[in-house]
């Protein structure tokens, strides 16, 4: 069975995410998006006449991608916890965060570009918060699950540390995180 072909809108948004990761915000033009998507010139303009609309839609698309990955992590965590216990589940989370930081570097970079743009542009208001919430959702979920009623400050702090460690690696500013490093942050809430 073949995978369904993505529609043009999705193809355009995937191209925007890739351009954000490789060329940054300034590299995202309608012409560059059409070229990266392999579509005729004017295709992205048809769907998104203004760059702000293109970027907002790309942010929503990116948030959806990040949240989809979260759902898959939740299932894996629950299975590991049920079969092997909480320590194995925490190690699983650490391994997945590291794999995600390595394999999905382009998503981290696109997220950072959009988050920084949102901090400077009124027409992207709320985009940074939306993307941060989507990216942190899996970590916050696991921390709430294992925290046994700890307050939100501890959960926010741990989620921020894990997110920061992964982002430093994705941007080339830090070494590849280790399972022990991420697991230690997650276990700190226990």
Q: For residue 132, tell me if it sits in a domain.
A: yes
- What is the token pair recorded at 15? 């191209």
> Among 12-21, 137-146, 161-170, which stretch is predicted with the lowest mean pLDDT?
137-146
Q: Is residue 52 part of a domain?
A: no
Domain, as residue range, for 101:
59-187
Mean pLDDT on 37-52 = 96
Query: Does residue 182 sit within a domain?
Result: yes
Select the highest-mean-pLDDT range: 34-38, 120-124, 169-173: 34-38
CA 89 to chain centre: 21
pLDDT at 6: 67
pLDDT of residue 5: 60
Kindly state whether residue 96 falls inside one of the protein's structural domains.
yes
How would residue 157 be classed by pLDDT, with cut points 50, 70 and 90? confident
| 21: in domain | no
How buried is 3 (Cβ within 10 angstroms: 0-12 exposed, 13-18 middle, 19+ buried)?
exposed
Alpha-carbon distance of 37 to 45, in angstroms, equals 13
pTM score? 0.83
**Domains: count for the chain:** 1
pLDDT number for residue 187 = 79
From residue 64, alpha-carbon distances to 70, 95, 137, 161, 166 in Å are 10, 22, 11, 23, 19
């Amino acid at each position: 069975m073949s995978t369904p072909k993505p529609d043009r809108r999705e193809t355009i948004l995937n191209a925007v995410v890739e351009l954000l990761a490789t060329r940054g915000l300034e590299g995202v033009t309608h012409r560059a998006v059409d070229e990266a998507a392999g579509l005729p010139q004017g295709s992205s303009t048809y769907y998104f006449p203004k760059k702000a609309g293109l970027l907002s839609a790309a942010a929503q698309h990116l948030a959806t991608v990040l949240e989809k990955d979260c759902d898959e992590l939740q299932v894996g965590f629950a299975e590991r916890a049920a079969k092997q216990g909480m320590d194995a589940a925490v190690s699983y989370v650490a391994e997945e965060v590291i794999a995600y930081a390595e394999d999905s570097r382009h998503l981290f970079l696109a997220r950072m570009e959009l988050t920084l743009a949102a901090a400077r542009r009124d027409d992207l208001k709320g985009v940074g918060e939306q993307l941060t919430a989507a990216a942190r959702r899996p970590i916050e979920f696991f921390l709430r699950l294992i925290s046994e009623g700890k307050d939100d400050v501890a959960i926010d702090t741990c989620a921020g540390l894990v997110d920061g460690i992964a982002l430093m690696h994705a941007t080339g500013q830090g070494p590849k995180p280790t399972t022990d490093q991420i697991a230690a942050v997650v276990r700190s809430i226990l």
